[in-house]
């Protein structure tokens, strides 16, 4: 008799409103998880690579130059207008003179560019140039792209900067 009674309790408990609402919550969690996965899937193409190359010196895309950059003040500061120094050397390691360059960039994850229009303003030599007007107005992953034009040809280099 007691066993039957226990079974009745169990059955009633399974059908109780509390149990049903738990099931709805579970379904809600599953739906939320699926939506989150879908969101991650759509955002994924602009997500940063797992390991960002944060080097400040690298060969240009076509390998014509070695490009090295550094903030002129020695430190990158968020929200401040800063000058950057760009040093160009040839494949053989000699300074590249009489180069011209344009600079752009932005935040790949946010699909926006730079808040300013940096420009090369001085040739400091040997192979060293000043770019003024760089500003990172928010924290996160930024890219700076230098399009270089010199005797060896046109080439470019993209740098990752994390703030
Ligand atoms: Cu941003």
Distance 116 CA to ligand 1 centre (A): 13
Per-residue confidence at 11, pLDDT binned at 50, 70, 90?
A: very low
In this prediction, residue 1 carries a pLDDT of: 43
**Picking from 5-14, 15-24, 91-100, 109-118, which range would have the lowest pLDDT averaged per residue?**
5-14
pLDDT (tens digit per residue) in 65-117 = 999 999 999 999 999 999 999 999 998 999 999 999 999 999 999 999 999 99
CA 109 to ligand 1 center in whole angstroms: 7
Q: How far is CA 3 from the centre of its chain?
A: 64
Residues with CB under 5 A from ligand 1 (ion): 107, 110, 138
Distance 6 CA to ligand 1 centre (A): 61
Domain extent listing, the chain: 2-46, 57-162
Report how far ligand 1's centroid is from the alpha carbon of 151 (Å). 35
Sign of CA dihedral 107, 72, 59, 89: positive
Written as six digits, the tokens of 152 are 């060896």
Residue 158 CA, ligand 1 centroid: distance in Å: 17
The mean pLDDT of 114-137, rounded to a whole number, is 97
In a 3-state reduction of DSSP, which class is residue 83? strand
Q: Which residues contact 136 (CB under 8 A, 6 or more apart)?
A: 76, 78, 79, 142, 161, 163
Please state the pTM of the whole predicted model. 0.71
Please give the pLDDT value at position 46.
62
Separation between Cα atoms, residue 87 and residue 79, nearest integer Å = 24
Q: Which CATH class is domain 57-162?
A: mainly beta
In the predicted structure, residue 5 carries a pLDDT above the cut 60: no
Cα 107 to ligand 1 centroid, rounded to whole Å: 5
Ligand 1 centroid, distance to 114 Cα (angstroms): 9
């Amino acid at each position: 008799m007691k066993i039957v009674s226990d079974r009745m309790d169990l059955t009633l408990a399974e059908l109780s409103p509390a149990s049903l609402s738990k099931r709805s919550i579970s379904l809600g969690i599953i739906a939320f998880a699926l939506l989150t996965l879908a969101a991650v899937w759509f955002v994924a193409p602009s997500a940063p690579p797992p390991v960002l190359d944060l080097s400040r010196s690298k060969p240009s895309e076509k390998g014509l130059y070695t490009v090295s950059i550094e903030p002129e003040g020695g430190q990158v500061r968020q929200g401040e207008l800063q000058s950057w120094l760009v040093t160009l050397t040839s494949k053989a390691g000699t300074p590249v003179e009489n180069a011209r360059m344009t600079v752009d960039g932005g935040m790949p994850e946010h699909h926006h560019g730079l808040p300013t229009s940096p420009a090369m303003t001085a040739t400091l030599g040997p192979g060293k140039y000043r770019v003024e007007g760089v500003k990172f107005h928010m924290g996160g992953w930024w890219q700076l792209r230098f399009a270089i034009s010199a005797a060896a040809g046109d080439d470019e280099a993209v740098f990752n900067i994390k703030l």
